[in-house]
Every structure is written in structure tokens, then in C-alpha cells.
Chains A and B, each alone.
Chain A
């Protein structure tokens, strides 16, 4: 089945210790997104890639970086996690062009100790 996969599903890190979250997709979609969602809040877009073109939201902290080495994979790097970065991190994809429906992976729950 075509799908969006995120690894790990749960990640525990220490304050200030870098962490990388992974997303892969078999949908062959052009666009990949990273969202941060905290409890009872709307998902907040951090950045997205349209093919290899990187688009950063203006209010995304510099502590967050992303890489998309190929069509299928996208990574979220948090360079120095703080307690406020504990959240669910959601990866989503969309076809691009006229196709703007977004499909989400299962998410990675990040805990910062």
C-alpha cells in the first residue's frame, strides 16, 4: 500500500542533544511537509519541500533544519532540543500542482528530558 512512514514513532532525547526524525513516502508525491503539533493545538507548519525547493516558514526557529536527499525521504533535524520542543511531529505529503490534498504519516512523539 502506498503510504507515508515516520520513524521512530516515539523518540526520547535529552535537553540539548541533537535528534533526527525520519519520513519516507511511497506515494511519489512532489511535496513533503513537516508540522509540529502540541496538545490541543492546530498542527503548525515548520517547512516544506516542493521537489528540491525548500520553503521555510518565517517563524520556524533556526534550531529546526530539514533535508530531502531524494523524492522518497525527508528528515527533520532538531539541533538543540529544548523542553518546549516536546510535541508530535507530523510528516505529510501532497502531489503538488493542482493536487493539494495532504496525507499524513503516523507522527513521531518527541519527549525532551
Chain B
């Protein structure tokens, strides 16, 4: 079974802090990695994708990929209350496999 694991949280950070969300995956052959944000009762919304080892930055978001360690993370700088949501890690291993998500709360 190709697994994607995330800490379910909740992860609570103060407004303005850096939130760090982590994800591990079991299929070493995975090639594409995605982070989605999902507000309560809503559908997942794509934040970023990353294909290569290293960091990829987009505004306040940075995705980090380490294929040797089978680890992908998402950093959110200057966290805002509007960032409070569940963040889903997804890994393409033939099919797209999703983690159950980490619930992030940003406190004003």
C-alpha cells in the first residue's frame, strides 16, 4: 500500500509566525508532490506542487522536498488567521495518494 502520512494536528501558531507542515510517503518512485488547502466543508484548493529536490517558494509559501528521506514539507511564513485550514499532502504514485491532512490554527 502506498502511504502518505501527516501529523493530524491540530497545529497552533500565533499570527505572524512560521507554520511548518510535514509529510512522509512510502513509494520511493513517487515523482510529483502537491500541497492542498481545505477549509472546513469546502473542497481542496491547490497551493503548490514540487517535482525536484530542494525548495520552491511562492509568496508566503515554501515547499521543500527531500526524495532520499521521502519527506516533503510546507512552510507558511507570516501566518495569518485566514491560513487556518486543513493542509493535505498529495503524492503522485501512479494514482494521486492523499494524506489525511494537518489541521492548522493561526491565533490572532
Contacts and interface: CB of A to CB of B under 8 A. Distances in A.
Interface in B1-47: 4, 8, 32, 34, 36, 41-46
A105 interface: yes
B96 A100 contact: yes
A104 B44 contact: yes
Interface residues of B, number: 22
B42 A45 contact: no
Interface in A1-54: 33, 40-43, 45, 48
Interface residues of A, number: 19
Contact of B43 (A41, A42, A45, A104): A104
Interface of B: 4, 8, 32, 34, 36, 41-46, 49, 88, 90, 92, 95-101
Contacts of B99: 42
Interface of A: 33, 40-43, 45, 48, 57, 88, 90, 100-107, 109
User: Which secondary structure dominates where chain A touches chain B?
Assistant: loop
| Majority DSSP secondary structure for residues of B touching A | strand
Contacts of B98: 42-43
Contact of A42 (B32, B45, B49, B100): B100
A45 B61 CA distance: 27
A102 B100 CA distance: 17
Contact of A101 (B4, B49, B88): B49
B89 to A, nearest CB: 9
Given A42-B98, A45-B95, A106 B4 contact: no
Contacts of B97: 42
